[in-house]
Structure 1
Amino acid sequence: MFDKRLAEEGRPVRKYLLLTIGISIAGAFLAVAQAWFLSQIIAGVFLERATLKMVWHPLCLILAIILLKSVLQWSAEICAHEAASGIKASLRSRLIGQVVSLGPVYARGERAGELITVIVDGIESLEDYFAKYLPQLLLAAGIPLLILGFVFPQDWKSGLILLLTGPLIPVFMILIGKLAEKKSLEQWQSLSRMSAHFLDVLQGLTTLKVFGRAKDQARVISRVSESFRLATLRVLRIAFLSAFVLELLATLSTALVAVSIGLRLVYGTLSFSVGLFLLLLAPEFYTPLRTLGLNFHAGLSGVNAARRIFEILDLPVAEKQTSEGIDSQKINLSSSREESLISFRQVSLTYEEGETPALKEINLSLGSGEKIALVGPSGAGKSSIAQLLLRFVNPSAGKILVQGQLLETISLEYWHEQIAYVPQNPYLFSGSIAENILIGKPSATMEELKEAAQQSSAHQFIMKLPEGYQTLLGEGGTRLSGGQAQRLAIARAFLKNAPLLILDEMTSSLDSESEYAIQQALQRLLQGKTALIIAHRLTTVRQVDRIFVMERGGIIEQGNHEELMTKQGLYSRMVSEYRGEAI
């Protein structure tokens, strides 16, 4: 089993792999020398009655060889694991970078637990492939040939037996490996499903408890775990069978060599020292082949994990130009004097081929300093426009212009520097409050951080916490209320101070006091900024310059509040439906 693409991943660390192989071959030479000296000493002592003084120097040489072999074996393992560590670090970095490049749209379409398993366990499973299997694959071909080079000059019959029986081990290894390949893949898939399901249960534990379904999910986890256990046992059963067969073949082959040597020693056609030398070399001939067989299943696990890793790495990512080819002065949003800062021209978007388009021929413009709002029923395409503007996805048709320049030609890193995004459900990371706010501007001082928190109406509740800004939050900000988490998200936007704001309105599920505090913070945040607001509560859109009403992926109305109310269209009906809280 040899995976060309995995082998290519070893190119950057090939010096370590070659060093591992070279050291192991040097160890094989020492094994031959040890067998030679040992056979000479035993023959001298038992046949020629040599004294200790006579064999003292050869014994010292054997001791030195044993010590040197130990050092070489240790060095080979160090080099092999160094190579594996370098490859794992490179692959993990590229894999995480690929997931980040694919963006939130891709991540939401995958099970988080399965992705975590690939990034963590999948990469780790490559350790044995590169540290053990791949070097051993070359050694299994090289060392037996090296030993045959010493055996044939001494006794061609023993060499012929080794030459004929040696290939039986890899042949049986491949035959058993074919059976193990499917079982190993099933084991990996079972592990991915179990990890994904367990993470889903943990994240949805509150919902499960409220609806009384926690025990049902516990039974499901037990069933999934049992499936993984059985899959693992099937793989281990084959691994044990493989080890038994390979050990049996090696033992029988060595016995065949021993019988051949023994018969010729009886008839006096072979000297004792040569016969003993050959007998000591026979196990060394089969050892690399047996070791390859033992590592075959570890290599198989690495190959199965690599399939999923390369599947993710091969996903197409939209081309992104670097800022080196862009004159950043041409897209300085904060000082734009153009009437149309951002323009959508006949933009359509389909997330997956064959699906209903999320957006259909959208024409929309956003002027410098202008505040526009997108309203409409769920699924109308409001969030898709934000996804396009954030460049999490690219248009299926049409084009988006920024100051007359195609958006996709602008450096993604530079473009994101121009945008502050405040989502409806902001994510807070495990860490301190200060660390979470500093995501907006990692280089900010503590004074700047506190000023941003005051502007977002977050400073007051932060100071009431046990350790203020250094208070540690759990994953997802579990210690904070929804309104508090949203104020921290607004603080990030204040700290970043970007010229373009994208706000996924956050007041739809808040109490009146929290809603008022956030509305005041948003008004301060919007001053002097260009903003795109996705509105859920119609009370928030009366202050914007223009309102775009969306339905089924298209814009069906636009204008300010008064103009749209006069048209008596969808917007007017939406206001009437929510009149109790909208006006």
Structure 2
Amino acid sequence: MRRRGRGPLGGEAATARGRSPEARAFFAPGNPAIARQALLISIRACAAALALIGIADVLAAHLVGARLHESSIILTAVWILVVCLARLALGRETDASRSREARRIRRALLEHAFRLGPARIGAEETGRLISLLTDSVERVVEYRQAYIGELIGAVATPFLVLVVIGALIDPVAALVLVACIPFVPLSIALFQRFVRDDSSASREMRARLSAQFLEAIQGLSTLVGIGAADRVGERLARTGEDNRLAVMRVLARNQLILFVMEGVFSLFLVTAAIVVSWIRPPR
């Protein structure tokens, strides 16, 4: 059985995985959209923090019967509007960049396949090409044009919020929470090590199933003529079952990681924030 990355198309995929200069140049047109997404998420986070501080001031003034300037209420409403506009712009930017990059990558892959010619793309490579143009492109686009921007924004958001807290509420409390933040990604990274092998096996199994299925479709008349259709069908059924089991393992491990993420964030970071606010009241 041929290993992935040995064929002309597999070699291109291996090059992209290796982050070569050619691969970085190939994906460079999508980088500005990633930067815009991260910027919009950062703006939304800062605006949300300022809006929550404004809402807290309004509630505190109402509870103690203090007079609150109308400018504070207007400013809070402005920050809420900024949050809504940033969220709307982020959704539109993400959808547009995904569609744009998917078209560009598929066009580039097809042009490369046409340059290779039919002599270098056999039945198995045709199956790999179809898988590359559909499932692989969708995953790459989803990862680059939706996930990376969200990831950068998610990493920056706690620090931006803590900067706002340190500037407007209490710098000591902000520093304590900054010291607690590294425990969250470290705990998640520890548990992600358990799912890496399952994810790789699942991707390999999907690519193998796609290649075998298209190879069987292309040679269906020949298989029926020589009486090998049942045997090939059984092989496809076994590969499909292996693919199902691989997907189930990935889903089970992902659920475990989600549980760890929610547990670490909710039970540790939020609890730390509550303890700090209880011990050290805002100035």
Interval containing the TM-score (normalised by the shorter chain):
0.7 to 0.9
Kindly provide the amino acid, as one letter, of the partner of residue 195 in structure 1.
S
Kindly provide the amino acid, as one letter, of the partner of residue 90 in structure 2.
A
Other-structure match for 2:59: 42
Other-structure match for 1:127: 141
Kindly provide the amino acid, as one letter, of the partner of residue 148 in structure 2.
L
Q: Is the 8 A contact 2:45 2:157 kept in 1?
A: yes
Deviation at 1:61, TM superposition (A): 4.9
Return the structure number with greater strand share. Answer: 1
Question: Superposed, which structure 2 residues align to 1:331-480 within 5 Å?
Answer: none
Other-structure match for 2:244: 229
Q: Report the Cα distance in structure 2 between the residues aligned to 1:151 and 1:49, rounded to whole angstroms.
A: 23
Question: Superposed, which structure 2 residues align to 1:20-419 within 5 Å?
Answer: 20-48=37-65, 58=72, 61-108=75-122, 110-153=124-167, 154-252=169-267, 253-264=269-280, 270-271=281-282
Q: Secondary structure at the match of 2:194?
A: helix
What is the TM-score normalised by the length of structure 1?
A: 0.41
Other-structure match for 2:34: 17
Give aligned-pair identity as a percent.
23
Q: Write out per-residue CA displacement over residues 241-260 of structure 1, whole angstroms, 9 at most, x where no aligned residue.
A: 11111111111211121123
Q: Report the Cα distance in structure 1 between the residues aligned to 2:219 and 2:225, rounded to whole angstroms.
A: 10
Q: Is the 8 A contact 2:177 2:272 kept in 1?
A: no
Kindly provide the amino acid, as one letter, of the partner of residue 115 in structure 1.
L
Gap change, CA 1:56 and 1:226, over 3 Å in 2: farther
Gap change, CA 1:258 and 1:8, over 3 Å in 2: farther
- Stretches of structure 2 that go unaligned for 5 or more consecutive residues are 1-16
Q: Report the Cα distance in structure 1 between the residues aligned to 2:227 and 2:27, rounded to whole angstroms.
A: 51
Gap change, CA 1:117 and 1:242, over 3 Å in 2: same
Q: Which one has a bigger Cα radius of gyration?
A: 1
Return the structure number with greater helix share. Answer: 2
Q: Report the Cα distance in structure 2 between the residues aligned to 1:68 and 1:176, rounded to whole angstroms.
A: 36
Q: Is the 8 A contact 1:80 1:130 kept in 2?
A: no
Q: Report the Cα distance in structure 2 between the residues aligned to 1:39 and 1:135, rounded to whole angstroms.
A: 30
Kindly provide the amino acid, as one letter, of the partner of residue 256 in structure 1.
A
Gap change, CA 1:96 and 1:178, over 3 Å in 2: farther
Q: Report the Cα distance in structure 2 between the residues aligned to 1:254 and 1:14, rounded to whole angstroms.
A: 33
Kindly provide the amino acid, as one letter, of the partner of residue 31 in structure 1.
A
Gap change, CA 1:146 and 1:7, over 3 Å in 2: farther
Q: Report the Cα distance in structure 2 between the residues aligned to 1:207 and 1:25, rounded to whole angstroms.
A: 59
Q: Report the Cα distance in structure 2 between the residues aligned to 1:10 and 1:169, rounded to whole angstroms.
A: 30
Gap change, CA 1:9 and 1:38, over 3 Å in 2: farther
Q: Report the Cα distance in structure 2 between the residues aligned to 1:102 and 1:32, rounded to whole angstroms.
A: 54
Deviation at 1:36, TM superposition (A): 1.1
Which structure has more relative contact order (CA 8 Å, sep 6+)? It is 2
Q: Is the 8 A contact 2:124 2:212 kept in 1?
A: no
Q: Write out per-residue CA displacement over residues 156-188 of structure 1, whole angstroms, 9 at most, x where no aligned residue.
A: 442233212211222233333333332222111
Deviation at 1:211, TM superposition (A): 4.1
Kindly provide the amino acid, as one letter, of the partner of residue 125 in structure 1.
R
Q: Secondary structure at the match of 1:179?
A: coil
Kindly provide the amino acid, as one letter, of the partner of residue 278 in structure 2.
G
Question: Superposed, which structure 2 residues align to 1:570-581 within 5 Å?
Answer: none
Q: Secondary structure at the match of 1:92?
A: helix
Q: Is the 8 A contact 1:83 1:130 kept in 2?
A: no
Q: Secondary structure at the match of 2:195?
A: helix
Kindly provide the amino acid, as one letter, of the partner of residue 261 in structure 1.
S
RMSD, aligned CA: 2.7
Q: How many residues get paired? A: 263
Gap change, CA 1:10 and 1:75, over 3 Å in 2: farther
- Stretches of structure 1 that go unaligned for 5 or more consecutive residues are 265-269, 275-583
Q: Report the Cα distance in structure 1 between the residues aligned to 2:69 and 2:264, rounded to whole angstroms.
A: 36
